[in-house]
Structure 1
Amino acid sequence: MKKHTPPKLADADLSKRLDKKAYFQELVNLQAHLALIQQAFLFHGVKGVLVFEGWDAAGKGGTIRRISQALDPRSFKVWPIGAPRNYYLNRHYLLRFWERLPPEGAISAFDRSWYGRVMVERLEKFTPEKRWRAAYREINDFERMLIDDGARIVKLFFHISQEEQMRRFTERLRNPMKRWKLTYEDFRNRERWSEAKVAVDEMFARTSTDIAPWHVIPANNKKYARVAAMRAIVDTFSKDIDLNPQHLDKRTLDAACKVLNVDQSLIDSLRARTE
């Protein structure tokens, strides 16, 4: 079996694009697959964990919205992760993520994640170097435990150029409906772009594993990025799992036969599949 090679930001082809027609064709197909995956997860008790990381304005939120459109919110939860409140500052940094992990059959998406430990906390010097370096091992152990417990993990990093980021900041400033997304921290973070790239590549090298690899999503073109991210999710979540509609149990079919005004042939065909 070929050994996994961690990705690097420099290897991402930011020129990749998808035209409008191809985008909508792919989107409809991928959303349909996501709906099937959610049903299969519910039936088999599989848990799904999505990790969204990337540069400011790289398109994480837009991708999450397209995924949300396809899924029943009763078993799909999005967790936007910001600065921890005092309760969590006095406890192990992984605690607030443990509390937000999905139950059996559900999917949780983390918009920012435990990887803040080796990015934001590293760059801002919120955490001593000894502790954030230990986080590489802690995170790998954490993710292995999740997988051993029946979870599937997809880790996505949305990568854009500095020029594209500036263009999107300008668009947000001009558009009243997007202006709320723009903050002082967005501009402040740009000043550490070079340092951040080093931290991100080291994060890939230390935490992109055979069981939980990183996917770098070229995101200069939003349509391409959404499809690439959703395809990575579908590929991982659908592997070795039956996506066919699940069979009804005998008791449910017996009740349906008595109560519902449907052709007996339909009940018989469903009963045959069950048996």
Structure 2
Amino acid sequence: MKNFVNKKPRFKTKKHYKKTLKKKQLRLLRLQRALHEQNIPVILIFEGWDAAGKGGAIKRATERLDPRGYTVHPIAAPDDHELTYHYMRRFWKLLPKKGEMSIFDRSWYGRVLVERVEGFATKEEWARGYDEINHTEQMLAAAGHIIMKFWIDISKEEQLLRFKEREANPFKSWKLTDEDWRNRKMWDQYEEAIEEMIDKTDTGFAKWYVIDGHDKNTARVTVIETLIAEFEKRVGELEE
């Protein structure tokens, strides 16, 4: 995959992880303020395998930000009303104002992933989706938006371990559904769709960052560090 951010486990202790996380979160908060002051809108997209850790990565990236400046949008399947319109329509009202962040927990990439694999879109519909998405993101980038897209990656074996852990945990069992098990049976079809999605929609104005999600703590810090690096390019130098 392109742009694979391959990070081996780097935290030997929880104390080291928490200290590093806090430091990176503070830097991200300062950059959020700078983006707000400069009226730069941000779109962050999180996709990944079921149980890969999207929610955990989003939580750690946002938990110390100014809550007035970002919104997390968990995206579910479109309802009957939304299906009567173009699939991109429901996302337009969720785009950020200038100086704010819109964070998508799943996104319009459902057109070329779940809708493709599950047959909810025809081959003609999902095949033209790549160009439609690229044109949309190019338009938003030209208007000043920062667009960053994360794929949280784990192996099929790791996913099974996490499914079993969730199943055995009464506080997390609600996260595991029959649909998760059914999707797992279609791993190969999804893997093919993921590869093509990243290959065809990884652009200079809206890059994909593939994060190794096997070690959750490393993945979470890596996401934040990736955000920091990109934001620093846009806002210029900040005083420490």
* TM-score with structure 2 setting the length: 0.94
Over 6 Å off, 4+ runs: none
Q: Which amino acid aligns with 1:77?
A: T
Task: Provide the residue aligned with 2:148 in structure 1.
Answer: 154
Say if 1:36 and 1:243, in contact at 8 Å, map to a contact too. no
**Is 1:17 paired with 2:17?**
no
**Is 1:58 paired with 2:65?**
no
Say if 1:47 and 1:103, in contact at 8 Å, map to a contact too. yes
Say if 2:41 and 2:101, in contact at 8 Å, map to a contact too. yes
**Is 1:167 paired with 2:161?**
yes
Q: 1:48 aligns with which of 27, 42, 47?
A: 42
**SS, match of residue 148 in structure 2:** strand
2: CA distance, partners of 1:62 / 1:211: 26
Task: Provide the residue aligned with 2:81 in structure 1.
Answer: 87
**Is 1:7 paired with 2:13?**
no
Task: Provide the residue aligned with 1:133 in structure 2.
Answer: 127
Say if 2:61 and 2:223, in contact at 8 Å, map to a contact too. no
Say if 1:48 and 1:153, in contact at 8 Å, map to a contact too. yes
Task: Provide the residue aligned with 2:31 in structure 1.
Answer: 37
Percent of aligned pairs with the same amino acid: 44
Say if 1:122 and 1:129, in contact at 8 Å, map to a contact too. yes
Say if 1:34 and 1:234, in contact at 8 Å, map to a contact too. yes
2: CA distance, partners of 1:160 / 1:42: 34
Deviation of the 1:21 alpha carbon: 4.0
Change (3 A) 1:18 1:238: same
Q: Which amino acid aligns with 2:97?
A: P
Q: What aligned pairs does 1:226-265 form with structure 2 within 5 A after superposition?
A: 226-242=220-236, 244=238
| Structure 1 runs not aligned, ≥5 long | 1-5, 246-275
RMSD, aligned CA = 1.6
Q: Structure 1, residues 97-150: CA drift from partner, whole Å, max 9, x if none?
A: 111000011001000001000000000111111111111001001111111111
**SS, match of residue 235 in structure 2:** coil
Change (3 A) 1:243 1:28: farther
Say if 1:217 and 1:229, in contact at 8 Å, map to a contact too. yes
Q: Which amino acid aligns with 1:16?
A: K
Change (3 A) 1:107 1:12: closer
Say if 1:52 and 1:157, in contact at 8 Å, map to a contact too. yes
Deviation of the 1:243 alpha carbon: 5.8
Deviation of the 1:23 alpha carbon: 2.2
Q: Find the structure with the greater CA-based Rg.
A: 1
Deviation of the 1:12 alpha carbon: 7.0
Q: 1:144 aligns with which of 109, 121, 138?
A: 138
Q: Which amino acid aligns with 1:189?
A: N
Deviation of the 1:71 alpha carbon: 0.9
Q: 2:178 aligns with which of 184, 187, 201?
A: 184
**SS, match of residue 97 in structure 2:** coil
1: CA distance, partners of 2:238 / 2:217: 28
2: CA distance, partners of 1:16 / 1:244: 29
1: CA distance, partners of 2:51 / 2:179: 12
Question: How many residues align structurally?
Answer: 237
Task: Provide the residue aligned with 1:224 in structure 2.
Answer: 218
Task: Provide the residue aligned with 2:204 in structure 1.
Answer: 210
Q: Structure 1, residues 196-230: CA drift from partner, whole Å, max 9, x if none?
A: 11100000110001111110000011011111111
**Is 1:198 paired with 2:201?**
no
Deviation of the 1:175 alpha carbon: 1.1
